[in-house]
């Protein structure tokens, strides 16, 4: 087709019109409406500009999983057309979004459809992992003439899961027909390990374990400090009462006073440690509340360890002070 005819192509002109409208809406701050225009332009004629701008809008609308899907397409399908500025813009966006999502890998012995949370996401076999928002998800793998595979799991930011969807032909049907039909993929390559099924829940991240450990340590240190302060107060009371006794034993009173001071010093050490630990744990928890959903496993077993350690330390120190 000549260049002049291509410029008069009504579909191309419509794609350009939607793209221009999207730019105006994005500059006005309406990313949701702009995204609709960019996706409409992509549906007519996918290109670097409408794909890049659609990804930027998705990121601004807090849909990082969908944004990263478009950035992946930019870096693969449109790689020869990307300018240096485009690559830098995509690299910045990807680096900011990657930690916000989880990844899912699904293997199936035959070509099939992958549905996540009721939305059709990919064709199997996958060419790249599927990115998901953190939280709980339902996976459905379907193929005409086969029993469907279902799985439910939860993932946190930066976590990943692998699922083996071993679907089998349904009785009384003829498999291998329909949109997902195709030759079976056969046995898995021997050099590729078989993925594990998705876990029922992710392991607690190290920063969150440290936060709960800090909370447990703070509570244990605070309790030990209060106990030592109570002992110090009792020793000081004995010293004051004995001092007023005309028949007091000077050596015993001095011992009570010194022991009271040692317990009081130990109490302040424990109380200071507890306050620092609780402050650190509070800061970590506030960060978790702002950045990720509540889907981690129960932290109680982690918090019990520093509580027990604090109790043993307190009893040991009390034995030395006595």
Return the H-helix or E-strand segment holding 131.
strand 130-132
212, pLDDT greater than 90: no
CA 212 to chain centre: 17
CA 94 to chain centre: 16
71, pLDDT greater than 80: yes
pLDDT confidence tier of residue 253, bands split at 50, 70 and 90? low
- Mean pLDDT over 150-176 rounds to 83
292, pLDDT greater than 80: no
245 versus 127: which is more confidently predicted? 127
297, pLDDT greater than 90: no
Return the H-helix or E-strand segment holding 155.
strand 149-155
Q: Would you call 162 helix, strand, or coil by DSSP?
A: strand
How far is residue 216's CA from residue 65's CA, in Å, rounded to a whole number? 35
- Mean pLDDT over 152-166 rounds to 89
217, pLDDT greater than 50: yes
- Mean pLDDT over 129-140 rounds to 91
- Mean pLDDT over 266-286 rounds to 79
181, pLDDT greater than 50: no
Share of the chain above pLDDT 90, in %: 27
Residue partners of 299: CB distance under 8 A and separation at least 6:
204, 208, 209, 212
Predicted pLDDT at 139: 93
Question: CA triplet 313, 285, 283: central angle to 5 degrees?
Answer: 80
195 versus 275: which is more confidently predicted? 275
How far is residue 135's CA from residue 64's CA, in Å, rounded to a whole number? 14
Predicted pLDDT at 285: 65
Number of other CB atoms surrounding residue 62 within 10 Å? 9
109 versus 184: which is more confidently predicted? 109
Predicted pLDDT at 243: 63
- Mean pLDDT over 172-199 rounds to 47
- Which region among 35-44, 269-278, 292-301 has the lowest average model confidence (pLDDT)? 292-301
Burial zone of 11 (CB within 10 Å; 0-12 exposed, 13-18 middle, 19+ buried): exposed
How far is residue 190's CA from residue 134's CA, in Å, rounded to a whole number? 32
Strand 102-107 to 160-164 pairing: parallel
- Tokens 């500025």 correspond to 85
The structure's pTM equals 0.48
Predicted pLDDT at 233: 82
Averaged pLDDT score across all residues of the chain: 77
- Which region among 232-241, 256-265, 298-307 has the lowest average model confidence (pLDDT)? 298-307
Q: Would you call 157 helix, strand, or coil by DSSP?
A: coil
Predicted pLDDT at 237: 75
pLDDT tens string 72-109: 888 888 989 988 888 888 888 888 888 899 989 999 98
Question: CA triplet 283, 284, 285: central angle to 5 degrees?
Answer: 95
218, pLDDT greater than 60: yes
Radius of gyration of the chain (CA): 32
- Which region among 84-88, 103-107, 195-199, 282-286 has the lowest average model confidence (pLDDT)? 195-199
């Amino acid at each position: 087709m000549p260049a002049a005819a291509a410029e008069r192509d009504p579909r191309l002109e419509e794609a350009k019109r939607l793209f221009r409208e999207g730019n105006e809406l994005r500059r006005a701050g309406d990313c949701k409406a702009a995204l609709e225009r960019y996706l409409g332009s992509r549906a007519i004629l996918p290109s670097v500009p409408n794909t890049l701008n659609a990804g930027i809008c998705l990121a601004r609308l807090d849909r990082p999983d969908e944004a990263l899907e478009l950035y992946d397409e930019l870096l693969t399908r449109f790689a020869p057309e990307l300018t240096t500025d485009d690559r830098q813009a995509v690299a910045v966006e990807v680096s900011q979004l990657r930690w916000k999502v989880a990844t899912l890998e699904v293997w199936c012995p035959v070509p099939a459809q992958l549905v996540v949370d009721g939305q059709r996401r990919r064709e199997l076999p996958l060419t790249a992992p599927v990115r998901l928002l953190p939280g709980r998800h339902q996976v459905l793998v379907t193929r005409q003439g086969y029993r469907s595979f279902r799985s439910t799991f939860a993932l946190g930011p930066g976590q990943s899961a692998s699922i083996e969807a071993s679907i089998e032909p349904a009785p009384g049907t003829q498999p291998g027909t329909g949109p997902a039909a195709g030759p079976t993929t056969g046995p898995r390559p021997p050099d590729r390990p078989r993925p594990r099924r998705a876990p029922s829940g992710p392991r607690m991240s190290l920063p969150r374990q440290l936060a709960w450990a800090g909370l447990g340590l703070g509570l244990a240190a605070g309790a030990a400090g209060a106990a030592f302060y109570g002992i110090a107060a009792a020793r000081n009371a004995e010293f004051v009462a004995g001092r007023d006794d005309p028949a007091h034993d000077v050596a015993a009173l001095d011992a009570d006073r010194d022991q009271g001071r040692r317990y009081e010093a130990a109490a302040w050490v424990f109380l200071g440690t507890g306050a620092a630990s609780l402050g650190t744990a509070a800061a970590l928890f506030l960060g978790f509340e702002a950045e990720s959903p509540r889907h981690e496993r129960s932290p109680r077993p982690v918090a019990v360890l520093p509580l027990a350690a604090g109790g043993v330390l307190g009893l040991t120190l009390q034995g030395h002070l006595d």
